[in-house]
Amino acid sequence: MIPVLLAALLAPSTPETVRTTGNPILSDGRYYSTDPAPLVDGDTLWILAGRDEAPDGVNDFIMNEWQLLSTKDPASGVWRHFPAIARPEAVFAWAEPGRAYAGQIVKGRDGRFYLYAPVLQREGDARDRFAIGVAVADRPTGPWRDAHPSGPIISQQTPVANDIQNIDPSVLIDDDGRVYIYWGTFGRLRAMELAPDMVTPKGPEQIVTGATGFFEAPWIMKRRGTYYLLYAANNAGPDSPCTPTLYHACQAYASAPSPMGPWTYRGVVLRPVSSTTSHAGAVEYKGRWYLTYHTADAKGGGHFRRSVAIDPMDWDDSVSPPAIRAVTPSRAPAPPPPPTRNIAPSAWASASNQPVPVQYWIAALNDGKVRSAPLPPDMWGNWTRANPASAWIAYRWPRPVTLNASRIRFFADHPAGAGEGVAPPAAWHLEYWDGGWKPIAGTYPTGTDGFQEVRFRPVTTRCLRAVLEASGSKDRHAGLAVEEWEALSPGIAKPMPRPDAMPPSC
Ligand code: FUB
């Protein structure tokens, strides 16, 4: 029985041809694909990807295996999908199943392929058992075998003691044949030289500085003598060029004249996407550069059900060293959205707690997205250590709109009446602007079981606000949070583009 099981684990999976009309590449929700690492071999562009298998509503990286995509022309939309090319426990005798995080396949000068893979050590007393193993194969699809069977090449114990989470490896073979590995997460970035065998740590392990806002997912590459480090950054704030909120990441980059720096921050390559992470890799293929990254845009997608996308990436060679132009993320054409009475998406949102704390995101109020297990940036909120007795959120339109109903989806992690955490409001009501704020009479439900709807006599206004009374006692109030707030017109709403700038106040 065991050999049969092992054979099944090691057997190459059957590839399938996939035809896309745009991003994400795998979009039907059968296979989610994450953490893309592109590789060019001959006339083929390969993308190594992890696979998210979290059930809907589970916020965790459930990742058991790696998979591959390949194409001979990204513009054709024709890809080959090779599911399940490797699993941690099948390749590394010292690894436990699961947590098949972001890896990279690199073709060595010996013509063989090397898979750098972060996996969990099955045993050991490391505080964090993530470690980086290297496997080798004759082709990207495998079969893969451990190239360093005595254990990982990088862990909290090897080649020197470190206390970081050892994931997200990226490897460069320089023109002189020297090999460098970069890795790290949670703001801690490391680099080290490997021996020309692609496996043996040469050292020393170096702390990389200069990559402003580095959070995770380094991607090393070289172009025209300059070294470039792409990475997921998060230096949140209302004026951040990278991310307005804490959990989202942008893809930023730094450049250096040598593999070990000094690194200079150069800018943002990709703004935050629909998933909190976007883990990117870039490559030149048939004379054109491409950025691969992941989003939550596939059917049923989410922050833990991500899917690989690819878009052209251009260089500005008029500056020295050449700069990467910001990539415009694209999506497959979607059918027109169903008719709706909701005109909130064409409004500008604001709130009483300006600036909104960076774990929340005011734009989530009217982005049309309701998630089964929302994270803080999927909502507006006002939780702090001392919460106010009331708060408001407001919409402002460029011209008057007529409304006769509104629906709010409250978020709570504490029960109704709580004086701590985030709880449903004790009460709420709407007000519209008519030379001053006028209350709107209606019945205002306060549950957290889906949208809470209030209907009212039509009002015509440019500004609407929801005033929320916090639950709790006189001196201690819970915070408030709203995932989505709809403003409904009496009939189907005519599409009205949201202006680029906030319309004048009412
Ligand atoms: O996929 C698991 C982790 O999420 C990766 O290691 C990170 O880069 C982020 O994409």
Dist CA 159 CA 387 (whole Å): 48
pLDDT tens digits, 367-376: 999 998 999 9
Dist CA 104 CA 156 (whole Å): 20
Whole-number pLDDT of residue 27? 98
User: Which of these, 402, 382, 385, lies nearest to 393 by C-alpha position?
Assistant: 382
Residue 77 DSSP class = T
Number of domains in the chain: 2
CATH code for position 132: 2.115.10.20
Q: Is residue 145 part of a domain?
A: yes
**What contacts 449, CB < 8 A, 6 or more positions away?**
none
| CB distance 64 to 53 below 8 Å | yes
| CB distance 155 to 166 below 8 Å | yes
Residue 385 vs residues 80, 236, 420: alpha-carbon distances, Å: 51, 20, 9
pLDDT tens digits, 390-399: 999 999 999 9
Prediction pTM value: 0.93
Q: Determine if ligand 1 sits within 6 Å of the CB of residue 103.
A: no
Domain check: are 220 and 270 in the same one?
Answer: yes
In a mutational test of the pocket of ligand 1, which residue from 33, 60, 168 has the highest number of ligand atoms less than 8 Å from its CB?
Answer: 168
Q: Is residue 453 part of a domain?
A: yes
Whole-number pLDDT of residue 494? 83
Whole-number pLDDT of residue 13? 66
What separation in Å is there between the alpha carbon of 401 and the centre of ligand 1? Answer: 43
Tokens (6 digits) for 379: 């909502």
Q: What is the DSSP string of 438-474?
A: EEE-S-----SSS-EEEEEEEEEEEEEEEEEEPPB-S
Domain check: are 359 and 232 in the same one?
Answer: no
Phi–psi pair at 284, nearest 5 degrees: -95, 130
CATH code for position 421: 2.60.120.260
294 CA: nearest ligand 1 atom: 10
User: Which of these, 134, 158, 138, lies nearest to 147 by C-alpha position?
Assistant: 134
Q: Determine if ligand 1 sits within 6 Å of the CB of residue 230.
A: no
Q: Is residue 333 part of a domain?
A: no
167 CA: nearest ligand 1 atom: 6
Domain check: are 147 and 218 in the same one?
Answer: yes
Whole-number pLDDT of residue 249? 95
Q: Is residue 376 part of a domain?
A: yes
| CB distance 253 to 266 below 8 Å | yes
Q: Give the residue whose CA is nearest to atom 1 of ligand 1.
A: 101
Residue 376 DSSP class = G
Domain check: are 10 and 62 in the same one?
Answer: yes
Whole-number pLDDT of residue 12? 54
Q: Is residue 298 part of a domain?
A: yes
Q: Determine if ligand 1 sits within 6 Å of the CB of residue 52.
A: no
pLDDT tens digits, 409-456: 999 999 999 999 999 999 999 999 999 999 999 999 999 999 999 999
pLDDT tens digits, 3-26: 444 444 445 568 999 999 999 999
Domain check: are 372 and 313 in the same one?
Answer: no
What separation in Å is there between the alpha carbon of 102 and the centre of ligand 1? Answer: 6
Domain check: are 267 and 395 in the same one?
Answer: no
Task: Among 324, 356, 378, give the residue marking a domain's end.
Answer: 324
Mean pLDDT of the chain: 95
User: Which of these, 70, 256, 121, lies nearest to 180 by C-alpha position?
Assistant: 256
Q: Is residue 503 part of a domain?
A: no
Residue with tokens 């709880």: 423
CA 432 to chain centre: 37
Q: Determine if ligand 1 sits within 6 Å of the CB of residue 281.
A: no
What separation in Å is there between the alpha carbon of 35 and the centre of ligand 1? Answer: 6
Dist CA 275 CA 435 (whole Å): 41
Dist CA 211 CA 263 (whole Å): 6
- CA atoms in the 13 A half-sphere facing the CB of 95: 32
Dist CA 162 CA 262 (whole Å): 22
In a mutational test of the pocket of ligand 1, which residue from 34, 51, 248, 294 has the highest number of ligand atoms less than 8 Å from its CB?
Answer: 34
Domain check: are 123 and 171 in the same one?
Answer: yes
What separation in Å is there between the alpha carbon of 176 and the centre of ligand 1? Answer: 31
Q: Is residue 309 part of a domain?
A: yes
What separation in Å is there between the alpha carbon of 301 and the centre of ligand 1? Answer: 16
What separation in Å is there between the alpha carbon of 100 and the centre of ligand 1? Answer: 9
pLDDT tens digits, 256-308: 999 999 999 999 999 999 999 999 999 999 999 999 999 999 999 999 999 99
Q: Determine if ligand 1 sits within 6 Å of the CB of residue 168.
A: yes
Count the Cβ atoms, other than its own, within 10 Å of residue 381: 26
Q: Determine if ligand 1 sits within 6 Å of the CB of residue 304.
A: no
Q: Determine if ligand 1 sits within 6 Å of the CB of residue 270.
A: no
Domain check: are 172 and 204 in the same one?
Answer: yes
277 CA: nearest ligand 1 atom: 10
Domain check: are 249 and 367 in the same one?
Answer: no
What separation in Å is there between the alpha carbon of 278 and the centre of ligand 1? Answer: 8
Q: Is residue 339 part of a domain?
A: no
Residue 61 DSSP class = -
Domain check: are 224 and 265 in the same one?
Answer: yes
Domain check: are 132 and 206 in the same one?
Answer: yes
Domain with 212, as residue range(s), is 3-324
Query: Facing residues of 315 across strands?
Result: 324
Tokens (6 digits) for 180: 């460098």
Low-confidence ranges of the chain (pLDDT < 70): 1-13
Query: Facing residues of 172 across strands?
Result: 180
Domain check: are 208 and 257 in the same one?
Answer: yes
